[in-house]
Copies of this chain bind each other. A is one copy, B any other.
Amino acid sequence: MHASIVGQLKVCLSYRTIQDTVILLFNPLSIDLVHSYTEENYIKTIFKLSANGTQEVNTNAIAEALETRAASVTDMLRKLSAKQLVNYVKYKGVSLTQEGEQVALQVIRKHRLWEVFLLEKLKFSWDEVHEVAEELEHVNSPLLIQRLDEYLGYPKFDPHGDPIPSESGQMMVKKQRLLAELEIAEGGVVVGVNDSQPLFLQYLNKVGISLGSRIRVVDKMAYDHSLEIVLEEEKSLLLSSEVSRNIFLSA
């Protein structure tokens, strides 16, 4: 059988031959084509937007997140829909198909593994990591990611405390609570952040909060919802409501 046809067999469930004609029976969910840099970014964005909040994502939200225009988003949604990566109904918003979700999870896996590498091996700081990982996540080589994962010791969480999906798209779920939701006298260990912008991470660095820091709430100001906390049972700090809504503690 011709090599290029044999190459396709691994993505199809079965095949039959009738007089020299090969009939391929595809399982649409198992076709893992390579997607463009741009397509990957759209899918990742849709995943993130549907994760925190509503089910259906609307066009403007995507446009804003990707710093592009609504018309461009519509174009791409029609393309992704044709590729069966999203469920798209005109004027009604969009959601990922199962296959689209797998694509998103693999991009996120690559992104987070590179973040771990940059931080642990190349000594990048918490806030320098994101931008570079944003480029590296689109390098396409399953072998590379597999070896990188091994080299890093199969980490389950990235430097921001976010879980790293496995090769098959599974993620650890961490029981976590927003610092802002704790009552007086409650406490916990910092396991993640809700905002990865450099400015926020630099702020945390400055006040001495990092993954693993132990925090206890001492007082809550009813006026502006700011919090008085104790860090590592020794340093007292006042955190704004803004900040306390962006730190996750172990539950």
Contact = CB atoms under 8 A, between A and B. Distances in A.
A135 interface: yes
B141 A135 contact: yes
Contacts of A151: 121-122
Contact of A132 (B124, B135, B143): B143
For this chain, the copies found in one complex come to 2
A140 B135 contact: yes
Contact of A124 (B122, B123, B147): B147
Interface residues on A, range: 10 to 19
Contact of A147 (B122, B143, B147): B122
Contact of A128 (B128, B135, B143): B143
Interface string A116-154: 001001111000100110011001110110011011000
Nearest to A136: B139
Given A118-B147, A122-B150, A136-B139, 12 more contacts: A122-B147, A122-B151, A124-B147, A128-B143, A131-B141, A132-B141, A132-B143, A135-B139, A135-B140, A135-B141, A136-B136, A139-B139
